[in-house]
A and B are shown apart, each in its own frame.
Chain A
Amino acid sequence: MRDAFIDTATALLDDDPRTAVVLADISASSFAPAARQHPDRVLNVGIREQLMVGVAGGLALTGLRPIVHSYATFAVDRAYEQLKLDLDHQGVGAVVVSVGASYDGASMGRTHMSPGDVALLDTLSDWTVHVPGHPAEVPGLLRAAARHDERVYLRLSTQVNDLPRPAAGQLTVVHRGGADAPLVVAVGPMLHPVLHAITGLDVTVAYTHTPRPFDVVGLRELVGAATSAGAVPAVVLVEPYLAGTSSALLGAALGGVPHRSLALGVGRTDLRRYGEPADHARWHGLDPAGLRRSITEFLG
C-alpha cells in the first residue's frame, strides 16, 4: 500500500499544481525523485511532526492541497493538537496518509503502534477516514481526496485482503446469509480474517474501506431485513483499530431499533510484546480462529 501511495502521490505532483507533500523524514527517500522534480512542493521538514502538520495548515491556507505522511503514531497521536488547531480550527483541510497501522510495526514495539488513531480523529470534526483493504484501493481514494479541500485520513496497512474492492465506499455485501442472518461489518483489512472465520456460519458480511462518514443508511438497510422478519438483529463490528471505535455510531444509527451488537478490534492494553503482526492479531483475537470464537459465542 505504501508503494501505491508513493506512486499515486508522485503522479499527482506531476498532474496537479495544487498538490504538495509534507514529510517528516519517513518515506523521504521514496519521494526523492518527486522532490527533484518539484522542490517547492515536496517538503521534508526533518523529524518534526508538529511542524509537518503546521506547515500543511499553512499550505492549505494559501490554497494548496497538502498530503501529510508519517507513521500513524507520529502523524496523529503526536501531532494531535496540530490536527485540531492547525487544520480543523483554521477551517482548512489536508490528506493525512499514515503507515504503521495498529500493530503493523509489531517488531518495533508499542512506541510505533497507533491503534487509537481513528478514535482520536473521531474527537475532531468532519474527517473522512479511509482504511483500504488492498493496495489497488489506494490510488482511487488518494486521487479523489486530492481533488477537494476537506480533511481526509488515509490509513495504510501491511495487512491486505485477497481482492480489491475499490467501490466499497459504503457498506458492500461480500457474503450474503439468510433473511434474518446476523450482520458482520468488516472494515478494511479485517475482511480477510472475517471471511475465513465465518465458514459455515449463517451470517451476512459487509465490507467498507471508508468507516467515516459511517454508512448509516447502508447499515439500517442491512439490518432492516432481520427486523422486518420479526427478529432482533445482531451486528458484529470488526475493526482493525481500537475495539469499539465505531460503537457509538452503530448505536446512533440503530437508535430506534432493538438490536444486539459486538465490537471487535484491537485491545487497549499495552501488551509489551514484539513479534509479527500475525502474533498481535492472535493476541487481540483478530485472527480467523479468535474471530470465530468471539462471533459464535456472541451469536449463541
Chain B
Amino acid sequence: MTTTTTAPGRTRRTSAQSPHSGLPAELGSLLRRLTGDEKHAPSAHSTLDVLWVLYDRVLRISPETAEDPERDRFLLSKGHGPAAYYAVLASKGFIPEHWLDDLAGPESRLGHHPDRVLVPGVEIGSGSLGHGLGLGVGIALGLRAQGLDLPRVYVLLGDAELDEGSNHEAIAYAGATGLARITAIVLDNRSASHGWPGGIASRFTVHGWSASTVDGRDHDAIETALTSHRPDRPHVVVAVVDPEE
C-alpha cells in the first residue's frame, strides 16, 4: 500500500480494490473484526460506500490534521450502525485496528453509537437522531465567524432520521441564510416509516439548497455529487441504496 498526498492535509491511499465494489478489500476484514462472524448490520453496509468516498476522495482530514482548525468536518449524525465508520477510521489510521476487536465492550472506546470524546477523528457524539445537522450548522457558522474559509462541513443523515423535526429547523435556516459551506448527505434506504412523498431532495431545495441524487454505491457519482456544491447555497447529496432486507 502506498500513501500519496494529493492536497494539503489530504491523503489518498491506493490499495487493493475489491473487484466488485471499488472498496478496498481490507475494509471487509476490518468490518469482520468489528462484527465477528455474524452478518454485518445492514445499516453499516448502507453507509460504507459514501463514507469511503468521503474519507478517500473528498475530506481534507487525516490523523495528523484531526485537530487542525482548517480541517474539513465530517459529522455522522446518523449514529446508528457505526461499524462502517469505525472501519473507515481504522483504515485511514485515525484509530488503531485492534480497537475494532471489542466493539461496545466494557473497556472499549467504540460503542454502538460513537462518542467524540473517546474516538480520535470523531467530530460529534451521536446516536439520538436529529442532532448532527444543527451542530453542523453551528460549526459552519463558527468557522465563518472566525474567517476560516477553507473548511467545509459534511453531515451524514439517514432518510428515517429526517422524521425528527429538529432537522427541518436546520434545513430551513441554512437555506434561508445561504449557508454555503455545509453539505448534508442523506443515505436513503427508504427506511422512514411514512416515506417522503415527492422525494427527499425537495425537502431541501424548497428552502434554497442545491441537490444531487445519486446511486449510493457508485463511487464516481458520489464523488461528483459531493463536489458539485455552489458558492451561494448549502448542498445536499441524496445517496440512494437498496432498502434494508
Q: Count A-side interface residues using an 8 Å CB cutoff.
A: 30
- Whether the Cβ atoms of A50 and B138 lie closer than 8 Å is no
- Whether the Cβ atoms of A45 and B166 lie closer than 8 Å is no
Q: How far is the CB of B112 from chain A (nearest CB, A)?
A: 15
> Which residue of chain B has its CB nearest to the CB of A54?
B134
A54-B138 CB under 8 A given contacts A63-B146, A85-B125: yes
The listed residue (A46, A48, A57, A81) touching B135 by CB distance below 8 A is: A57
- Whether the Cβ atoms of B169 and A50 lie closer than 8 Å is yes
Residues on B with C-beta less than 8 A from A59 are: 138-139, 141-142, 145
B53 in contact (CB, < 8 A)? no
- Whether the Cβ atoms of B116 and A91 lie closer than 8 Å is yes
The listed residue (B117, B124, B142) touching A64 by CB distance below 8 A is: B142
Residues on B with C-beta less than 8 A from A270 are: none
A41 in contact (CB, < 8 A)? yes
- Whether the Cβ atoms of A40 and B173 lie closer than 8 Å is no
B51 in contact (CB, < 8 A)? no
Residues on A with C-beta less than 8 A from B146 are: 17, 62-64
- B-contact 0/1 string along A80-105, CB 8 Å cutoff: 01100110011100000000000000
- A-contact 0/1 string along B116-160, CB 8 Å cutoff: 110000011100101101111111111111101000000000000
- Whether the Cβ atoms of B169 and A86 lie closer than 8 Å is no
Please tell me the size bucket of the interface on B. Answer: 20 to 34
Residues on A with C-beta less than 8 A from B130 are: 50
A55-B125 CB under 8 A given contacts A91-B116, A91-B117: no
Residues on B with C-beta less than 8 A from A224 are: none
- Whether the Cβ atoms of B144 and A40 lie closer than 8 Å is yes
Residues on A with C-beta less than 8 A from B133 are: 54
Q: How far is the CB of A14 from chain B (nearest CB, A)?
A: 14
Complex-state Cα separation, A41 to B128, whole angstroms: 28
> Which residue of chain B has its CB nearest to the CB of A53?
B134
B180 in contact (CB, < 8 A)? no
B170 in contact (CB, < 8 A)? yes
- Whether the Cβ atoms of B131 and A51 lie closer than 8 Å is no
Residues on B with C-beta less than 8 A from A48 are: 169, 172-173
- Whether the Cβ atoms of A40 and B145 lie closer than 8 Å is yes
The listed residue (A41, A53, A62, A81) touching B139 by CB distance below 8 A is: A62
Residues on B with C-beta less than 8 A from A55 are: 134-135, 137-138, 141
- Whether the Cβ atoms of B135 and A90 lie closer than 8 Å is yes
A263 in contact (CB, < 8 A)? no
- Whether the Cβ atoms of B169 and A45 lie closer than 8 Å is yes
Q: How far is the CB of A261 from chain B (nearest CB, A)?
A: 37
- Whether the Cβ atoms of A56 and B138 lie closer than 8 Å is yes
- Whether the Cβ atoms of B145 and A58 lie closer than 8 Å is no
Interface residues of A in 1-51 (CB under 8 A from B): 17, 20, 40-41, 43, 45-46, 48, 50-51
> Which residue of chain A has its CB nearest to the CB of B143?
A62
> Which residue of chain B has its CB nearest to the CB of A50?
B166
Complex-state Cα separation, A141 to B100, whole angstroms: 46
A61 in contact (CB, < 8 A)? yes
The listed residue (A20, A58, A66) touching B134 by CB distance below 8 A is: A58
Q: How far is the CB of B146 from chain A (nearest CB, A)?
A: 7
- Whether the Cβ atoms of B128 and A85 lie closer than 8 Å is yes
Top 10 nearest A-B pairs (CB, nearest first) are A58-B138, A54-B134, A62-B142, A55-B138, A48-B169, A51-B169, A58-B139, A40-B145, A59-B142, A50-B166
A residues whose Cβ falls under 8 Å from a Cβ of B: 17, 20, 40-41, 43, 45-46, 48, 50-51, 53-64, 66, 81-82, 85-86, 89-91
B residues whose Cβ falls under 8 Å from a Cβ of A: 69, 115-117, 123-125, 128, 130-131, 133-146, 148, 165-166, 169-170, 172-173, 176
Q: Give 15 A-B pairs besides A59-B142, A61-B135 with Cβ atoms closer than 8 angstroms.
A: A17-B146, A40-B144, A45-B173, A46-B172, A50-B130, A55-B134, A57-B135, A58-B139, A60-B142, A62-B143, A63-B69, A82-B134, A85-B128, A86-B131, A90-B124
